[in-house]
Every structure is written in C-alpha cells, then in structure tokens.
C-alpha cells in the first residue's frame, strides 16, 4: 500500500526529493495529497509535511524551500544533530526531525549553492572550501543517505508493516585517460620538443627514460592498461573509462585520436569495460566542441556514447549538464571536488539531475565519486599511508549506508614511478578493502 503524504501544495521540487528519498533510497511508494479529508480517512501509512501538525500523524515540519520556484539566497543556519550537523532547522516538538530533512537534502543534491553568486577557482570551478558541507565539517559524510535511513527507521517504528528495500554496497572503479602514454605516440614535433626540453634543463634521467621507451628497451610508464585488465579479472571489477579526445592544447595533452595505436587501445578497453567521453578542458561550455569529441569517440568504438566526466572536473551548474542532456548523454560522473575528498552532493548514490533553472527533473543521472588520486597527493599532500587511511574512512562511511563508492583513478598513477611510487600497492590495498578477493 502506498504511503499518503499530506502537503500544503505540490511542486516539482517536492515530487523530486520525495522520489529520491522515499522511493529510490527506501523503496517506499507514495502519493501526495492536499486534501485533509482524504488524508484523514486513509487507512494506510501516512505522513504530513507542512507547517503544523493536525492530528497524531507522523509529522515533519517544513520550511519554504520546496514550495518555492525561484533560486534565492537561503538563510542557512547550522545546528547540531546527534553526532552530525544539519541545516534548515525547524522548531516544533512534534516534528520527526529538528530540521527540514527534505529541504536540507534537496539543497545538497541539487547543488543549490552553486547557482548562487560565488568565487570560482582559476579553472572556473566551484570551490569545495566554499561549500556548506565543508563549513559544517560534513563533506566526508553521506548525509542524505544517513538521513534517509533514519527516516525509514522512524516510519517503520510507526508502521511495522511498511517494507523498506535492501540496498547493497557497490564499488565502482573509474579511470580518466588524460594521457595514454608518457613518451610513445606523441608525434615527431612533441617528441623532439620534449627531448630538447630535457637537455636544456639537464634532466638526463628523463631524457634517458624517454630514449629507452622509444627504442623499445623498456615499457612506457603510463601504459598500465594490461595491469588494469588483470586487476579487473582478479577482483571481478566492472570499471568505467573516460577518454580525453580533444585536440592538443595546454591542458589537453592526450594522444591524437587519429593515431591508430590509440584507437586500438580504446577499442581494447571497450572490449573489457564501458567507455565514456572525457570532455576536454577547451570544450568547457562549448556544445559544438563536446559534440565533436563525442562523435569522434563514437566512431572509434562504433557505439553510442552515453557516459561523461569533465576533464579537470570543470563543472558549471547547470550549463554543463544542460549541454550533456542536449547531446544525449544519460550518465555523468563529474560530481566531486578536485581539492577535497568526500560527497559534493551529500549523497553516495546515483540521483537524477534536477535543473533548478528550469525547475524540473531531467533525464541525466548523476554518479558522484568519493575521492580522486590527485586530490590526495596533489591537493591534500597526503603520503601513501595517509591516503589509504582517507579512502578506508570513506569506504566505511559508504558501506555503513550501503551506498555506491566511486573511485577516480588515472592510468599513470599505477606506473608506480617517480612521484607515484607506492601508489600501485596502495591501489591494491584499496581494492582489498573495497571488495576483497
């Protein structure tokens, strides 16, 4: 039997967040009603979301956010809630939660704050340190999952016959292929320029390694793809690959897609895993460029491209997603920060993109990742042991809520050379911790 929810009025925002929290996360079917008499006479499980409790029904006091249609500055007050923190406090001793759990969750998963005026970093990215979750000290907690679980517990205490769905922890390794090879297949001009740069800077170890790789005396350090396939079989993994296909530029330095060996590599990866586009740095908010890159990758694979992750994680809300939707991308994996680990949208599960600009739910599925290799080494300055502790903590958080843990890694990280020495054993430790053997 459906749960009936009494609300003052229905909105797209209400439908969206109730769908996400009740149906998607808890498995509870529901109907909304604005009719008090219908609600009163209903014999099944029910809940009231509004300003004041009428009878003895389960009641959650609401704020205004889900009944609005515009994007406005919100007066965010942070409160302590158990051993966590929350936003959108409400003051009613009959309310199930001392904060509007639905408004708070909506604010986080829609990335509401990213539509408001803010200062971007040098790559035009919203900064993790500006986010409310970072300021709350809750960025590494999947709050929406935690809140949904507690909501389910409260409802089943009142309605013991209410059945909740059982979610399972899922680990999804993903790879961004920004540079398939360190030295090979770069073309004569790039290779010659690199040789000269090494000589002028007196970087003889680099010059010598480049020489040996190009002479076939040792493998290219970035070519870790056979190792990835081996790990895939050993751990029964189902990885995803995102391939940079843009033209060469300052921040887009992969191999040309016209290179036959690169095409063969992409086809090989496509035989073992799902492959998506890694829209180039220079294609940022340029629909035509993104379209060209998707088309070129599709031709190589001879299949439709439906997955995406932005290079440099350059995400503009909502324009980046609107472009992807127009280009028939159904799943995006950009939701995460370069400078901090954790849950940018406060959730460790897939969710549909709600376009606040148009006030409606879309066909694009958002898959938030939890941590990136470069975040730990380059931004946080963590060593191998500290990085493992960070990932282990995040894994525990996601396992506790039976969510999805998406790991963002790069092929060159597994080279186990130079600044990435020790990161291959680290990766294997992460796999052992995530899925075992």
Give me the tens of pLDDT residue by residue for the chain, a chain 437 residues long.
899 999 999 999 999 999 999 999 999 999 999 999 999 999 999 999 999 898 888 999 999 999 999 999 999 999 999 999 999 999 999 999 999 999 999 999 999 999 999 999 999 999 999 999 999 999 999 999 999 999 999 999 999 999 999 999 999 999 999 999 999 998 887 877 776 787 788 787 877 888 888 899 999 999 999 999 999 999 999 999 999 999 999 999 999 999 999 999 999 999 999 999 999 999 999 999 999 999 999 999 999 999 999 999 999 999 999 999 999 999 999 999 999 999 999 999 999 999 999 999 999 999 999 999 999 999 999 999 999 999 999 999 999 999 999 999 999 999 999 999 999 999 999 999 999 76
Q: Which domain holds residue 85?
A: 3-158
- 144 and 224 assigned to the same domain: no
402-414 burial, b at 16+ Cβ within 10 Å, e below that, comes to bbbbbbbbbbbbb
Residue 316 gets the label, from left (phi > 0), alpha (psi -120 to 50) or beta, of beta
**Which pair of tokens denotes residue 378?**
């380059």
- 261 and 369 assigned to the same domain: yes
The verdict on residue 334 lying in a domain is yes
Can you tell me the distance from the alpha carbon of 47 to that of 32, in angstroms, rounded to the nearest whole number? 10
HEC secondary structure over 201-229? CCCHHHHHHHHHHHCCCCCCCCCCHHHHH
What is the model's pLDDT at position 195? 66
**Which pair of tokens denotes residue 309?**
């992750």
**Which pair of tokens denotes residue 345?**
């949208």
Cα–Cα distances in angstroms (integers) from residue 31 to residues 35, 49, 209, in the given order: 12, 12, 65
- Is residue 257 a contact partner of residue 296, using CB atoms and an 8 Å limit? yes
pTM check: above 0.85: yes
Enumerate residues 6+ apart whose C-beta is below 8 A from 350. 365, 366, 367, 404
Report strand pairing: 30-33 vs 360-366: unpaired
CA atoms within 13 A on the CB side of 388: 14
The verdict on residue 17 lying in a domain is yes
The verdict on residue 424 lying in a domain is yes
In which residue are the tokens 């990932």 written? 391
CATH number at residue 282: 3.20.20.370
- Helix (H/G/I), strand (E/B), else coil: 125: coil
Residue 434: how many CB atoms within 10 A of its CB? Answer: 21
- 124 and 178 assigned to the same domain: no
- 126 and 152 assigned to the same domain: yes
Question: E strands of 291-356, at which residues?
Answer: 307-308, 331-332, 351-355
* Domain end point (choices 158, 191, 211): 158
- 117 and 177 assigned to the same domain: no
- 352 and 422 assigned to the same domain: yes
- 112 and 177 assigned to the same domain: no
Can you tell me the distance from the alpha carbon of 343 to that of 82, in angstroms, rounded to the nearest whole number? 20
- Residue 365 phi/psi, 5-degree rounding, is -95, 130
**Which pair of tokens denotes residue 361?**
């739910």
Report strand pairing: 84-87 vs 78-81: antiparallel
- 225 and 136 assigned to the same domain: no
- 134 and 272 assigned to the same domain: no
The verdict on residue 61 lying in a domain is yes
The verdict on residue 26 lying in a domain is yes
Please give the tally of structural domains in the chain.
2
Angle between helices 287-301 and 319-326 (to 10 degrees): 50
- Is residue 293 a contact partner of residue 277, using CB atoms and an 8 Å limit? yes
- 177 and 109 assigned to the same domain: no
Of 280, 323, 25, 298, give the one whose Cα is nearest residue 149.
25
The verdict on residue 213 lying in a domain is no
- 329 and 229 assigned to the same domain: yes
The number of helices, as runs of H, and strands, as runs of E, in the chain is 14, 15
- Is residue 22 a contact partner of residue 50, using CB atoms and an 8 Å limit? no
What is the model's pLDDT at position 437? 63
The verdict on residue 209 lying in a domain is no
- 271 and 376 assigned to the same domain: yes
The verdict on residue 153 lying in a domain is yes
What is the model's pLDDT at position 192? 75
**Which pair of tokens denotes residue 97?**
């939660």
Please confirm whether the linkage preceding 318 is cis (ω < 30° from 0).
yes
């Amino acid at each position: 039997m459906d749960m009936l929810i009494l609300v003052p009025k229905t909105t797209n925002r209400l439908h969206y967040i109730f769908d996400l929290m009740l149906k998607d996360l808890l498995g509870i079917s529901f109907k909304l009603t604005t009719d008090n008499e219908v609600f009163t006479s209903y014999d099944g499980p029910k809940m009231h979301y509004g300003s004041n409790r009428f009878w003895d029904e389960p009641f959650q006091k609401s704020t205004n956010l889900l009944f609005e249609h515009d994007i406005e500055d919100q007066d965010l007050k942070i409160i302590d809630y158990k051993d966590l923190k929350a936003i959108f406090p409400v003051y009613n001793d009959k309310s199930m939660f001392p904060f509007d759990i639905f408004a708070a969750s909506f604010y986080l998963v829609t990335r509401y704050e990213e539509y408001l005026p803010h200062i971007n970093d040098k790559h035009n990215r919203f900064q993790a340190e500006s986010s409310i979750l970072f300021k709350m000290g809750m960025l590494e907690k999947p709050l929406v999952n935690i809140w949904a679980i507690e909501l389910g517990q409260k409802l089943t205490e009142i309605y013991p016959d209410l059945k909740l769905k059982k979610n399972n922890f899922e680990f999804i390794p993903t790879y961004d292929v920004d540079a398939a090879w360190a030295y090979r297949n770069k073309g004569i001009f790039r290779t010659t320029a690199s040789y000269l740069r090494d000589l002028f800077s007196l970087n003889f170890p680099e010059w010598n390694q480049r020489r040996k790789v190009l002479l076939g005396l040792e493998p290219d350090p970035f070519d870790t793809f056979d190792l990835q396939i081996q790990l895939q079989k050993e751990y029964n993994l189902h990885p995803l690959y995102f391939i940079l296909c843009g033209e060469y530029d300052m921040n887009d330095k992969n191999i040309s897609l016209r290179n036959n060996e690169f095409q063969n590599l992409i086809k090989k990866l496509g035989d073992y895993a799902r492959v998506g586009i890694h829209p180039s740095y220079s294609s940022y908010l340029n629909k035509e460029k993104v379209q060209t890159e998707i088309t070129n990758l599709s031709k190589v694979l001879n299949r439709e491209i439906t997955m995406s992750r932005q290079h440099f994680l350059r995400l503009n809300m909502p324009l980046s997603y609107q472009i992807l939707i127009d280009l028939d991308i159904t799943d995006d994996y950009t939701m995460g920060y370069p400078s901090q680990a954790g849950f940018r949208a406060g959730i460790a599960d897939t969710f549909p993109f709600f376009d606040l600009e148009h006030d409606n739910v879309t066909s694009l599925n958002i898959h938030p990742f939890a941590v990136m290799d470069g975040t730990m080494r380059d931004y946080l300055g963590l060593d191998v042991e500290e990085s493992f502790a960070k990932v282990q903590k995040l894994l525990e958080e996601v396992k506790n809520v039976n969510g999805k843990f998406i790991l963002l890694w790069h092929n060159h990280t597994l080279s186990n050379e130079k600044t990435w020495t020790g990161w291959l054993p680290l990766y294997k430790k992460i796999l052992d911790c995530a899925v075992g053997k």
